[in-house]
Structures are given as C-alpha cells and as structure tokens.
Amino acid sequence: MTDGTPSVTPPAATAPAEATCAHCGLPLTLDDIWGWIHANGRYLCYDPNTGEPMSMPAEPSVS
C-alpha cells in the first residue's frame, strides 16, 4: 500500500562511458534536462574544422 506520494525511479545507466557525436565527432555528455549535449555545453553541433554552427543537435554515434 502506498501513501500517494509519487516516487522517482532512477533511470538505468544509459550513458556510455565515452560517447561521441554522430554528426561532428565531439565528445558528449548526458544532461538531466536537455538529454545529449556536447561536453563543451553546446546542444547544437559545430563543425570541428571551421567552428561554424550546424543545424543538427547532439546525438551519440552507434558503435
């Protein structure tokens, strides 16, 4: 029997130890609010060669 208090179940370990972005190859980290973001704190990809912003969000590559 529960007292009506919602409970939070911690998510399963979904973050690989070292994830890289499928689009730009930069390292990623899993943020509690935004999901996957680049380790430098940016959500959108930046071209690693030119530094120009790209229109794709961070997404882990599939190994």
Whether 2 is covered by a domain: the verdict is no
Q: What is the pLDDT of residues 10-57, one digit of tens each?
A: 544 444 568 999 999 999 999 999 999 999 999 999 887 888 989 999
User: 52 in helix, strand or coil?
Assistant: coil
Answer yes or no: is 27 within a domain. Answer: yes
Q: Distance between alpha carbon 29 and the CA centroid of its chain, in Å?
A: 5
User: Is the residue at 50 inside a domain?
Assistant: no
Per the structure, how many domains does the chain have?
Answer: 1
Q: How confident is the model at residue 59 (pLDDT cuts 50, 70, 90)?
A: very high
Q: What is the pLDDT of residue 47?
A: 85
Range of the domain at 27: 17-43
Would you state the pLDDT for residue 12? 46
Residue 58 lies in a domain: no
Whether residue 11 lies inside any domain: the answer is no
User: Between the CA of residue 63 and those of 16, 18, 41, what are the distances in Å?
Assistant: 11, 11, 23
Q: What pLDDT shows up at residue 29?
A: 95
Domain assignment of residue 57, yes or no: no
Pairing outcome for strands 27-31 and 19-20: antiparallel
Residue 39 located in a structural domain: yes
Q: With H, G, I as helix, E, B as strand and everything else as coil, classify residue 37.
A: strand
Query: Residue for token digits 């229109």?
Result: 55
Residue 25 in domain: yes
Global pTM value: 0.64
